[in-house]
Amino acid sequence: MLIERIYDEDLAQASYLIGCQANGTAVVVDGRRDIAVYQDLAEKNGMKIVAVTETHIHADYLSGTRELAAATGAKIYVSGEGGPDWQYEFDGERLYDGDTITIGNISIRALHTPGHTPEHLSFLVTDGAFSDRPGYLLSGDFVFSGDLGRPDLLDEAAGGLDTRFEGAKQLFASLRDKFLTLPDYVQVHPAHGAGSACGKALGAIPSSTVGYERLYAWWGPYLAANDEQGFIDELLDGQPDAHAYFGRMKRENRVGPTIMGERAPLQELDPTAVTKDLAEDKVTFVDTRPNTEVHGGTVTGSVNIPVGKSVASYGAWVVNPESDKNPLVLLASGQEQAQKMWDHLVRVGIDNVAGYVTGFEGLPTFTPRVMQPAELAGFDAAMVLDVRNRSEHTAGHIPGSHQLSGGRVMWHLDELPAEGPIVTYCQSGVRSSVAASALRRAGYDVVELDGSYAAWDTFQRSMASAG
């Protein structure tokens, strides 16, 4: 048997290819929409992808289940659990608790493990060529290394009302009745790692075991004492801000993400044509440089989505395909970099990319306003906006600042002043630049705090020591 983990550092998301080497067949679990990685992996191992499935209706990325099935002819399996409000709306065989997918010598048994979401499945894998007992659990967003999937996302991002309490109770029951009944040796392979907003304390270790989690996870003592209320209180306390785009992911994943098919390579665009389209507001320019370079000058009306490991996340902060119909023009060093960025963007449903340019020559430019920490006290700001997470703001913030995390800013404009300058900051300046660029494009007067909170805090300490 082959189990390959495909990890996306951008979204801290893990998908899996499970293959039977005896008959050359494979299944993909929780795949993403840029599917070449799975096709290449299957080909490398002489396998054919015959089945695709997912643990639940995802909130943090757009599922590649339908994309893979369309490209390979694989059969789709999705959860049929969760009740009428949590049914997928596209074709595929429904899986219920105890149902099995079989590929060659491998059996993959569905376990209904609600809590993170009502329809959530985990997959218990048995390598029949080696043993008649299961050895692996693909736990999805149920159990992570050292943590659990949060049960409050439906409230935070999908329009639910106090569903977190029922979800927390379901998680307790899923742990007690499903997870902890498994042998300690069963290996646990979760769908997320450190950095994901799907939990509050995810470990960076890619896998664990039932026995290790039983003994050392924070929730272990609560289960051992059958302390459901203590478990619920601890689970719900201190969960991170949920990105607003999660609601769109939930809706699209339930209905069925658009199948893109084979995408033609992005082409370099004529700057003259881009300038004309910018003047007529027919395209949105994406400056992909670091915030420190953007501060030296950028394209008028552009949004900042810096190249790096967070392209999908930041892209979904500032581009909403449901309302932003303009195709994107990417700043890129060349076709390869532009294509890689597009691969990341389609993971969050940002499919409409017109092409790329390699420089600013001939394009309209401006210089973003930036303020030094020493200037802030004397500046008449309509608002000082902290775009970090709540936990960061609680740990220390600029007095009088308003906290609204970067992934929620463009969906909560009603919290911002309609007039007057807004000073934005994060921890180091990256997230602030992303959010500030989107606010400027929306017509707000924005000034970025140079060096953000880290620089302001250093300045305050230096003043205190000098005084």
Looking at the fold, whether 242 and 305 belong to one and the same domain comes out as no
Q: Is residue 200's pLDDT more than 60?
A: no
Whole-number pLDDT of residue 242: 87
State mean pLDDT over 94-119. Answer: 97
Per-residue pLDDT of 145-192, as tens digits, reads 999 998 987 676 666 667 889 999 999 999 999 999 999 999 999 998
State mean pLDDT over 363-376. Answer: 97
Tell me, what amino acid is at 304? N
Whole-number pLDDT of residue 156: 66
Whole-number pLDDT of residue 326: 96
Whole-number pLDDT of residue 203: 62
Looking at the fold, whether 344 and 390 belong to one and the same domain comes out as no
Looking at the fold, whether 191 and 98 belong to one and the same domain comes out as yes
Across the chain, what does the average pLDDT equal? 94
Looking at the fold, whether 139 and 32 belong to one and the same domain comes out as yes
Looking at the fold, whether 218 and 159 belong to one and the same domain comes out as yes
Residue 264 falls inside a structural domain: no
Say if residues 188 and 209 touch (Cβ distance below 8 Å). yes
Distances (CA, A) of 219 to 140, 142, 174, 176, 192: 17, 13, 12, 11, 18
Looking at the fold, whether 313 and 223 belong to one and the same domain comes out as no
Whole-number pLDDT of residue 152: 85
State mean pLDDT over 389-400. Answer: 95
Out of 255, 280, 311, a domain closes at: 255
Residue 26 falls inside a structural domain: yes
Out of 314, 334, 366, a domain closes at: 366
Residue 458 falls inside a structural domain: yes
Looking at the fold, whether 171 and 197 belong to one and the same domain comes out as yes
CATH number, domain with residue 231: 3.60.15.10
Provide CB contacts within 8 A for 378, sequence distance 6+.
none
Residue 356 falls inside a structural domain: yes
State the angle between helix axes of 228-236 and 163-177 in degrees (0 to 180), rounded to the nearest 10.
Answer: 120
Q: Is residue 142's pLDDT more than 80?
A: yes
CATH number, domain with residue 293: 3.40.250.10
CA distance 13 to 189: 11
Residue 263 falls inside a structural domain: no
Whole-number pLDDT of residue 160: 61
Whole-number pLDDT of residue 260: 97
State mean pLDDT over 250-260. Answer: 96
Q: Which position has the token pair 């067949």? A: 25
| Total structural domains within the chain | 3
Which pairs with CB-CB distance under 8 Å and at least 24 residues apart come from 386-393? Answer: 386/425, 386/426, 386/453, 387/424, 387/425, 387/426, 387/431, 387/432, 387/435, 388/426, 388/427, 388/431, 388/453, 389/240, 389/241, 390/240, 390/241, 391/238, 391/240, 392/427
Instruction: State the residue range of the domain holding 422.
Output: 369-466
Out of 313, 344, 366, a domain closes at: 366
pTM of the prediction?
0.94
State mean pLDDT over 440-452. Answer: 97
Residue 266 falls inside a structural domain: no
Looking at the fold, whether 340 and 362 belong to one and the same domain comes out as yes
Q: pLDDT grade, residue 201 (50/70/90)?
A: low
- Residues of the chain with pLDDT > 90, as a percent, come to 90
Residue 63: Cβ-neighbour burial (10 angstroms; 0-12, 13-18, 19+): buried
Q: pLDDT grade, residue 109 (50/70/90)?
A: very high
Of residues 399 and 129, which shows the higher confidence score?
Answer: 399
Looking at the fold, whether 188 and 45 belong to one and the same domain comes out as yes
